[in-house]
């Protein structure tokens, strides 16, 4: 869930972009970020932290890393 939605903000295209990035991370790493954390705690962390990054960023191209960071 995108931070904007967790914070109760308006749904915009940024929510879809966030979701696409998270799905891309899940595809290449085999699991979504924060999967090992309780859902309520994970939602809190999503709302207050920086966006997740690839754990194995060195395995991927500069372009893919840029895509994820965007």
The structural domains of the chain, with segments of one domain joined by +, span 3-69
pLDDT of 37 reads 96
Enumerate residue ranges in the chain where pLDDT < 70: none
pLDDT of 21 reads 95
pLDDT of 56 reads 84
Report the half-sphere exposure of 11 (CA within 13 A, side-chain side).
Answer: 3
Instruction: Give residues with Cβ within 8 angstroms of 27, minimum separation 6.
Output: none
* CB distance 3 to 47 below 8 Å: yes
Tell how far CA 60 is from the center of its chain: 17
pLDDT of 26 reads 95
Task: Residue 50: name the closest of 38, 28, 34 by CA.
Answer: 34
């Amino acid at each position: 869930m995108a931070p904007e939605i967790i914070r109760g903000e308006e749904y915009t295209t940024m929510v879809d972009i966030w979701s696409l990035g998270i799905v891309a991370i899940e595809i290449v790493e085999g699991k979504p970020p924060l999967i090992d954390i309780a859902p309520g705690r994970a939602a809190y962390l999503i709302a207050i932290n920086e966006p997740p990054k690839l754990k194995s960023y060195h395995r991927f191209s500069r372009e893919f890393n840029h895509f994820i960071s965007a």
